[in-house]
Amino acid sequence: MFEILQYDFMQNAFVAAVLVSIACGIVGTYVVTKRIVFISGGISHTAFGGIGLGYLLGLSPILVAIPFSLFAAIGIGVISRKTVVSEDTAIGILWTVGMALGIIFINLSPGYAPDLFSYLFGNILTVPNSDLVVMLVLDFVIIATVVIFYREFYALCFDEEFATVAGMPTRLLYMLMLCLVALSVVVLIRVVGIILVIALLTIPVAVSRMYVTGFRSLMLLSVVTGTVMTITGLCLSYFFDLASGATIVVVLGIAFGLSSVLKRSRAV
């Protein structure tokens, strides 16, 4: 088991698993509680436009995906709250336009995009040191923002109307929360890919909610659950030569299924 740690790419993969789990555990708690799971999918697919632009400009696709994801998050929030367009319609518009732009940019870029498949479906085994640095910085930004606005985000998730009456800038707080989702999406892209981002943002939290009730406890247990399940999926993908992103998601799904059965058996 420990012999796989002698490889640099596996060391990077384990570090990436921890960094990803921190982001998805913290932000995923807000995503599930606030019931904005579909928004995370819309942001992740819009980020594909940034991936394509990165290929076209010859820059790091991950770095270029950051502003694209933030734009998607703010766009969804502004369109859904300041116009007559519903939130799901805004998500659908940005979702499709972002994917379309990504395809166009990739078609316009010279040569062949060798890592494109890993951005779509994830490949934690190919995460370079430069992406680890980006993940670490984004995790720090996410943690710092949550620490500063913890009470405000808590009120926004459980009683937005009360938070508005209490004088909190709920619209700005909502935009900021969506930006955290966008940053988490960027962290997750290299591990599970754009297609499977929703799984890591929701399943660890869904599993953890079966065992704890406190909000802080839910965040902490979600981080631990995500770390254990991601590393388990990583090891299985290595030993059985399977797609890493898909294997991680399947492991998460199995964990959710087993937890659901265990909870029902205890309730009987």
Nearest to 256 by CA among 198, 197, 199: 199
Our separate counts of H helices and E strands in the chain read: 12, 0
Instruction: Give the per-residue pLDDT at 137.
Output: 94
End-to-end CA distance of the chain: 38
Instruction: Give the per-residue pLDDT at 9.
Output: 84
d(C-alpha 115, C-alpha 220), whole Å: 33
Ranges of the chain with pLDDT below 50: none
Q: Which domains does the chain have, with CATH numbers?
A: 18-194 (1.10.3470.10)
Phi, psi of 22 (to 5 degrees): -65, -45
Phi, psi of 34 (to 5 degrees): -80, -10
Nearest to 138 by CA among 97, 98, 179, 183: 183
Instruction: Give the per-residue pLDDT at 30.
Output: 95
Question: Are 188 and 197 contacting, i.e. CB atoms less than 8 angstroms apart?
Answer: yes
d(C-alpha 189, C-alpha 116), whole Å: 11
Tokens 């631990």 identify what position?
224
Instruction: Give the per-residue pLDDT at 221.
Output: 96
* Cα distances (angstroms) measured from residue 5 to each of 174, 235, 244: 41, 11, 16
Span 79-128, pLDDT tens digits: 766 666 677 777 888 888 999 999 999 999 887 776 777 888 888 888 88
Span 220-238, pLDDT tens digits: 999 999 999 999 999 999 8
